Amino acid sequence: MLVGMNAQRKEKSVRTFQNENGFTLIESLLSLVIFMVIISITTSSLSAFVKRNHKQGSLNHLEWDNFINEIQEEANTSSNQTVYSELLIFENSYEVPSSYQKYGDIVRRQVLGVGHEIVLQNISKIIFKKNGKNQITVKVVDLNGNIFEKNIRLFIN
């Protein structure tokens, strides 16, 4: 009798174990593929939507903010600044010059007169102007005629 009860328990536990349903590898892979297709369609449609809202020839505001932040950081760490109408040169404590200037319809950054780091695009005009000892005004006109202007404070040591 005891042996029969143990056999019934084993049989019962085997049956419940066999009745448990789970995901197979094929089901998991199929759901992963469907998820990836949905994500790729969503991202491509969003990027097309963003490009459609951005006017051709206009300056990107995020690009402008990054440009101003980069100039402000270089101004804070520079020991000397030279300002021409379309050229801005910062010299660090090791006397290594880095310059910002218009090149075609972009503004590029160069270090030691070499390199080609694009910092702004779709630019028709840029003007740098030194206001006193501790301020530089940056004025940019994009290809659509929109004007962006910012004053950069110089921290003199």
Choose the weakest-confidence range: 10-19, 24-33, 48-57, 94-103.
10-19
Give the model's pLDDT for residue 57.
Answer: 74
CB 60 within 8 Å of CB 121? yes
Our CA dihedral for 56, 60, 64, 66, rounded to 10 degrees, sits at -140
Q: Model's pTM, two decimal places?
A: 0.64
Residues 6+ away with beta carbon under 8 Å from 101? 86, 87, 88, 107, 108, 110, 126
Q: Is 141 exposed, middle or buried (0-12, 13-18, 19+ CB in 10 A)?
A: middle
Domain boundaries, the chain: 23-53, 61-153
Percent of the chain at pLDDT above 90?
A: 55
Residue 108 has pLDDT above 90, yes or no: yes
Task: Quote the CA–CA distance of 121 and 140 in Å, as a whole number.
Answer: 11
Whether pLDDT at 17 is above 90:
no
- When pLDDT is cut at 50, 70 and 90, the band that residue 22 belongs to is confident
Whether the CA torsion 35, 41, 42, 44 is positive or negative: it is positive
Tokens representing 22 are: 């789970």
* Dihedral angle of Cα 36, 41, 42, 46, to the nearest 10 degrees: 140
CA-nearest of 78, 92, 67, 51 to 149 is 67
- Give the pLDDT mean for 126-151: 93
Mean pLDDT of all residues belonging to the chain: 85
Higher pLDDT, 100 or 80: 100
Tens digits of residue pLDDT in 51-65: 655 567 788 889 999
Contact 93, 106 (CB under 8 A): no
pLDDT at 99: 95
pLDDT, residue 47, reads 75
* Residues 90/75, Cβ–Cβ less than 8 Å: yes
Q: What is the pLDDT of residues 24-51, one digit of tens each?
A: 889 899 999 999 999 998 888 877 766 6
Phi, psi of 76 (to 5 degrees): -70, -30
